[in-house]
Chain A
Amino acid sequence: MTTTTEKKKSDFYQNLTTTEINVDSKDRALAEKVCEQAIIPTTKNEYWKYTRLTKLTKPKYIQQKEEIGDITSFVIDQDAFTLVFVNGFFNEDLSSKNKPSGVEFKILSEKEALPPLQATIEGALFTAINTKYLCDGVELVFKEKNQVKTPVQILHIIKGENTISNFRVLVKNERFSEGQLILGEFSEGGKTKLSNIVVDFKMEEQSKLHVDKIQFEDEETFHISTENIRQKKNSQFTINTITLNGALVRNNLNFEVKGENCESNLNGAYLLKGKQHVDNHTVVDHQVAHCNSNELYKGVIYDKGTAVFNGKVFVRQDAQKINAFQSNGNVLMSDYATVNSKPELEIYADDVKCSHGSTTGQLDEEAVFYLRTRGISEDSARELLIAAFIDEVLDMVQNENIRTFIDKIISARFHQNI
C-alpha cells in the first residue's frame, strides 16, 4: 500500500557499502529491491503517522569503525557477561572473556550464512538497509535445558559524525532454556548519527527470556529499533524498554505468538526533554489460544518533547482464552509537550479477556500541595510523584544493578532539569 506521496526518493544511504556478511540470499534480494525503490515513509503512512523522518534522512551516512577508550560509563551491570560493539562492529578487547556456560555466541561476520530474518523486509526500509548494509552483529544461543544465571549484556555505542550503525542481534532460546539479556544503546560524540538495530528473538518450546533494553544515546543520535519475537508453546518472554535519552527514537516491537500457553510481557518507560521524540510501536499477534500478554508503557514528557505510543493487539479467530492487557500513561510536564497515544485491539475470537486504556495528564497538583504541607520542597514533591508514576514500570526491571544504573541517570536528570 504505497501512495504517491510516499514516493519521495532519498539518497541518505547511497554512500554506504554493501555488506560482505553472508546474509540470507532471499533477504538480500528483497533488501536490494526495497532500497532501490527508496521509499521514505511520510506521515501520510499510517505506520509513521506521528514520526517525521525528514531530519533523520538528511545526512549522508557512512559506516565506519571507531575506537573507544573506556566503557565504564556504559556498563549497566558490572556482573554481566559483556559484549561490546562500536558502530555495529565487535570490539573484542573491551568485551568480557569468561563466557558463562549454557550460552554460546558467534559474531555474524564469522558465520558461514545467516538464517532468514524473522522481521519483515518488504516495505520496511530500515530493516532492508540493515540487511543490505549490515555492519556486524552477534548470534546468541541459550542452549537447551540450560538456565543461565549470569546476564548477557550487549553494549552498542555509536560514535562519529554521520555514522550509521546497521547492527543485528539474533537470539535463540532453545527448548527449556532460560536467560537474561541486557541491551544497552549508547553514543559517544559526533553529529547526526543513526543507530539502526534489528533484533530477532526465537523462543523455542518452554524457554524463558528476560530482556532489559536501556536506551541512553545523545541528542545527536537518531535511533530505529526493530525487534521481532517469535514464541513457541509454553515460552515466556519479557522485554522492558527504558528510553532515557536520544534525539528521535523509534522502537518497533513485534510479537508473533505461535504456540499455546505463552506469556508475553512488554513494558516501557520514557523520560523526554528538549525536543526529543520517542515512538513506541508495538504489535502483539495472538495466533493461538491460551496465552497472556501484558503491556504497560509509561512516560514523562518535559519541554517540547513528543511521545508516541501505538500498541496493537491482534487476537486471531482461533485464539480463544486469551488474556491481553494493554495500558499507556503519560504525564505532561509542560504546555508544549505532546502525546499521541493509540492503543488498539483487534479481536476476532469470542472467548477472550482484553483491556486497554490510555491516560494523559499533568501531575496531580493536590498531591504536590499535600507533600509541600509536610515540609517537602516543590521540586522534591514533583520528583517523588514522577518517580511514583514511572516506578510501576521500572519495578519490572528485577536486576538490582540495572535498576541502580537507571535510577542514577534519572536522579541526575531531576537535579539539573527541574
Chain B
Amino acid sequence: MTQKKKIIEIKNLHASIDGKEILKGLTLTINAGEVHAIMGPNGAGKSTLASVLAGREEYEVTEGEVLFDGVNLLELSPEERAREGLFLAFQYPIEIPGVSNINFLRTALNEIREHKGETPISAKEFMALVREKSKIVELDAKLASRSVNEGFSGGEKKKNEIFQMAMLNPKLAILDETDSGLDIDALRIVANGVNKLRSDENAIMVITHYQRLLDYIVPDFVHVLYDGKIVKTGGKDLALELEEKGYDWIKHDLVNN
C-alpha cells in the first residue's frame, strides 16, 4: 500500500491567550482525502485550534510544531497560510460593510495565483467561476455580490463561508460549526456542497457538536477534544456514541486512567 500524503501534522501543540493555556499538547495528523471530525464540550479549545492554525495573532504558541504539506505553518502569516491552501470557515463570520464579496474574492484569488506564479484571472473567467461555485451551495447570486455578510441571515453567512471555500479551493478546509444556524434544508445543501469539494488531494476538518452534519459529511475519524487535548479518537461511530452518552463517560475514563 502506498503511503498517503500528509496534509497537516500537528505535534504536541501548546497555545495560550492572555497568559492562559488553552491548547495543552494537541497531536493530530490528517492525510489527503480524509475527513476528520473534531467534537468536544464547549470551551474545550476547538475554535482555538482553528484560530491558531489560521494564524490569529492573539494566540501564543508556546510549544509544538505544525507541518502543513511539509511547510512549517507556524512561521507563516495568515495570508501566506491561505495561499498555501489553508481555509477556515469561521464559527462567527463577521460583517464587512462596503467590501463586496466578489471584489474581495477576486483580490484574494489573484493574490493566491500570484503566489503560485500564475497570471491573474480574467473578469470573464472569474464571473464564470462565481456562477459555478455559488450554485454548489445554492447561494443567491445577489448575495455573492453584496458586501461581505452584511445583513446576511445566520444561515446565509455560513453558506457564504462555504462559497468562499469553493472559490479558493483549499488543501485543508477547517469548518468551525458550519452547521450551527443552518435550517434542515440548508444543512443538507451546504453538506452536499462540501462533499462536492472533496477530493483525494484535499482534506477537511469538521468541528461540530452534532451527529446530524456527519450523516452527510461522513468522517473517516472522529476525535474528542477535551481540555486542550485530543483525548479519544474513533471512527464515525464514535460520534453516534457521543450523541447518545454525552461527554461525561470520557471525562470519567480520563479521571480513572
Contact = CB atoms under 8 A, between A and B. Distances in A.
B168 interface: yes
Given A370-B96, A385-B96, A388-B99, A376 B88 contact: no
Interface stretch (B22-30, B101-109, B128-136, B227-235): B101-109
A375 B115 contact: yes
Given A388-B99, A392-B98, A375 B90 contact: no
Nearest to B111: A375
A389 interface: yes
Interface in A363-418: 364, 366-367, 369-378, 380-381, 384-385, 387-389, 391-392
Contacts of B107: 376, 380, 384
Contacts of B94: 364, 366-367, 370
B56 to A, nearest CB: 6
A374 B96 contact: no
- The dominant DSSP class at the A interface is helix
Contact of A384 (B57, B104, B115, B168): B104
A76 B52 CA distance: 48
A375 B104 contact: no
Interface residues of A, number: 22
Nearest to A379: B79
A374 B77 contact: no
Contacts of B98: 385, 387-389, 391-392
A395 to B, nearest CB: 10
Interface in B51-102: 54-57, 77-79, 81-83, 87-88, 90, 93-94, 96-99
Contacts of A371: 96, 99, 104, 108
Contacts of B108: 371, 374-376
Nearest to B78: A372
Nearest to A372: B78
B164 interface: yes
Interface in B111-162: 111-112, 115, 147-148
Given A366-B94, A369-B56, A384-B107, A377 B99 contact: no
27 contacts: A364-B94, A364-B96, A366-B94, A367-B94, A369-B56, A369-B57, A369-B78, A370-B90, A370-B94, A371-B104, A372-B82, A373-B55, A374-B105, A374-B108, A374-B168, A375-B83, A375-B109, A375-B115, A375-B168, A376-B79, A376-B104, A376-B111, A377-B79, A380-B107, A388-B96, A388-B98, A389-B98
Interface of A: 364, 366-367, 369-378, 380-381, 384-385, 387-389, 391-392
In the complex, the 3 A-B pairs of residues with the closest C-beta atoms, listed nearest first: A388-B98, A375-B82, A372-B78
Given A374-B168, A389-B98, 18 more contacts: A364-B94, A369-B57, A369-B78, A371-B99, A372-B55, A372-B77, A373-B54, A373-B78, A373-B81, A374-B82, A374-B108, A376-B82, A376-B108, A378-B77, A378-B79, A385-B98, A388-B97, A388-B98
Interface of B: 54-57, 77-79, 81-83, 87-88, 90, 93-94, 96-99, 103-105, 107-109, 111-112, 115, 147-148, 164, 168
